Amino acid sequence: MIVTLLFQAEVSDYQKASTPISSQEMTHSGGSPSIMPVAWNATCENWQAVEAALEKYYLSIFYGFEFIVGILGNTAVVFGYLFCLKNWNSSNIYLFNLSISDLAFLCTLPMLMRKYAQGKWTYGDALCIGNRYVLHANLYTSILFLTFISIDRYLLMKYPFREHFLQKKKFAVLISLAIWGLVTLELLPILPLISPVIASKGTNCTDYASSGDPSNVLIYSMYLTFLGFLIPLFVMCFFYFKIGLFLKHRSRQLSTALPLEKPLTLVIMAVVIFSVLFTPYHIMRNVRIASRWGIWKQTPCTEATINSLYIVTRPLAFLNSVINPVFYFFMGDHFREMLMNQLRHLFKSLTSFRRWAHGLTFSVREN
């Protein structure tokens, strides 16, 4: 309700500030009024107002939600792995690195929230470029770690005792280091393409699809889409498909398929979440860049519509930082019980310390 009122207020303010259409522009050559241009201009003004409102309210509110929920969830996960888990395996190593990547991204969100709420960037050029770099690094490291988690889960089905060399902890550590190194090298070309705009109010830190030369930006964006998204998506779908076949084959051999319903549901949810979150963003990012390049003729209204749809997909692509702890960690009973036991132990220790401190203070006062 609040967001709706804010949107309506933004649209109203924008329309009041817009230049009215002259009577000459609303008439044909014969002098009769034309309704179509008026309706078209009104629709265009609405889309431009929606674009401004989305950037100011939608992004700042959505990023704020992701920051609060994501920080709590990923901090709990990192705490659980560092202080509760004694025997690590390959899955734990991938999941821990995934949480570290999410935390690094979440720490950049307060700057973006302030930027979109105030309509200006106040942190300088270096932090602008660094912020955008960390944002994309989180996106593509998350995709790769989720891909190797799907491979590891398939191997766990085939080799439940982890005798395959791909399931060894040393190999998982090497793969994790390779992912960080690959994404770092993969994103180096993005640094010169992100160009903060110097305006009268200060630096305007635009997103990647809205900065730089659109021809170069589009080529590099297509490269990231293919190498960083489509290939991992194909690999993930292939291994989750293999997992689904394995579970169905196993269910035919068992008297009941009930124990396999949860793993199969998790497999389907993983592919759906991966596709729904990342696919719209990559499509609209490339369409947004292509619209700036001027490959086809377009009106300002069309450009505002494209950018509005692109804005909607941006925070959705990083919603995985909020979903990952819930989906991959807290749905596992073993990890949840282990974390809760550790928290209970910590609470009991704090309670005992308070009692001891209270008793010590009381004895000192008596003396």
Q: Which tens digit of pLDDT belongs to each residue from 119-159?
A: 889 888 889 999 999 999 999 999 999 899 889 888 888 88
Position 314 in a domain: yes
Rounded to two decimals, what is the model's pTM?
0.80
Range of the domain at 276: 2-11+53-324
Position 354 in a domain: no
CATH number at residue 134: 1.20.1070.10
Position 335 in a domain: no
Residue 218: pLDDT band by 50, 70, 90 thresholds? Answer: very high
Residue 86: pLDDT band by 50, 70, 90 thresholds? Answer: confident
Return phi, psi of residue 120, to 5°: -155, 160
Q: Is residue 49 pLDDT above 80, yes or no? A: yes
Position 271 in a domain: yes
Residue 200: pLDDT band by 50, 70, 90 thresholds? Answer: low
Q: Average pLDDT over the chain, rounded to whole?
A: 81
Position 130 in a domain: yes
Ranking 55-59, 97-101, 200-204 by mean pLDDT, the lowest is: 200-204
pLDDT for residue 367: 59
Tokens 């930082």 found at: 321
Helix (H, G, I), strand (E, B) or coil at 203: strand
pLDDT for residue 251: 72
- SS3 breakdown of the chain: % helix, strand, coil, rounded to 5? 80, 0, 15
- Count of CB atoms situated within 10 Å of the CB of 223: 12
What value does the mean pLDDT take over residues 20-30? Answer: 41
Position 269 in a domain: yes
Q: How many domains does the chain have?
A: 1
Position 232 in a domain: yes
**Comparison of pLDDT for 295 and 166, the residue scoring more:** 166
Q: Which long-range contacts (CB under 8 A, 24 or more apart) does 165-174 make?
A: 166/90, 167/89, 167/90, 168/90, 169/88, 169/89, 169/90, 169/93, 171/90, 172/89, 172/90, 172/93, 172/94, 173/93
